[in-house]
Amino acid sequence: MILTVTLNTALDVTHHVPKLIPHASHRVTTVTERAGGKGLNVARVLAALGHEVTATGFAGGRTGAVVRELLAESPRVTDALVPCAGSTRRTLAVVDRTSGDTTQFNEPGPQIGSAEWTAFLGRYEALLTGAAAVALCGSLPPGVPVGAYATLVRSARAAGVPVLLDTSGEALRRGVAARPEMIKPNAAELAELTGSREPLQATRDARRRGAHAVVTSLGPGGLLAATAHGTWQAAPPRALTGNPTGAGDSAVAGLLSALTEGLDWPDRLTRAVALSAATVHAPTAGEFDPRTYEQVRGSVTLTTR
């Protein structure tokens, strides 16, 4: 079983419009709703790859109830979310069908009390006993300690469970110091962490701060990985147009699934890049287009850096 943690779960609502025009009224052509937040997106992709997944984090209020109903529709994903008094947030993505661009609106999330955080820690430590790996993903809701991910990384390490951390800002800085197996920032998050905007230098610097491996998302440029076994850049054969929301989450699922299957780093990166590209061609986050995945997987360019 792979464990995913989404402390700030969401109801992801995606609107498609013919063309997004500021200050104008729009007719929405299609609307989709998904149980969301980065870790839940990761969970669905892992399940689609054939892995059994347990998803934990917080869910509360009417929105949280909808998230849990939608999550129940995902095969091979077990709901281990912890109730909270506040209401789970919503995110709204507006997809411009003309340009392919997506505009995103993210609510902050519910206020988490100290008793709720303690209840979550108990649930998390119990779930670690059956986990092959864990993904810690996304932002922290209000009230959760800024060092939360560092605490969760240390608990997983004590249980002998490898951790992939995907967050940003101070939560990332503190989490890296706890020495996770992997982190997966994007270029902007990495620059904020290290102070360097040169991706290769910044990726190596982030590894020196404590992570065993650093995999940086470069957008259309693919992934740049600095590991104990070497440094590689893996890139898709061409830039793909579509909805990029959730592409990074699919990369996390690719990296984590390949880790649990014992694949080497080149194969891990190839899978992650192909899944990320295939997600751009899917209509909503937490899904990927299987045909694009197979096409890209066979033509990923891998370069030693």
Q: What is the pLDDT of residue 298?
A: 85
CA dist., res. 89 & res. 271, Å (int):
31
Q: Say what the pTM is.
A: 0.92
Taking the alpha carbons at both ends of the chain, their separation in whole angstroms is: 33
CA dist., res. 6 & res. 59, Å (int):
10
Q: What is the pLDDT of residue 191?
A: 94
Q: What is the pLDDT of residue 283?
A: 65
Concerning whether 264 is annotated as a catalytic residue, the answer is no
Q: Which one of the listed residues 12, 166, 249, 289 is annotated catalytic? A: 249
Nearest by Cα to 65 from 53, 83, 80, 78: 83
Q: What is the pLDDT of residue 148?
A: 98
Q: What is the pLDDT of residue 286?
A: 65
In Å, what is the CA distance from 53 to each residue of 142, 149, 196, 241?
26, 20, 36, 30
Q: What is the pLDDT of residue 220?
A: 83
- Spatial neighbors of 208 by CB under 8 A, at least 6 apart, are none
The low-confidence residues of the chain, meaning pLDDT below 50, are none
Q: What is the pLDDT of residue 281?
A: 72
For residue range 92-137, what is the model confidence (pLDDT) as tens digits? 888 888 887 888 899 999 999 999 999 999 999 999 999 999 999 9
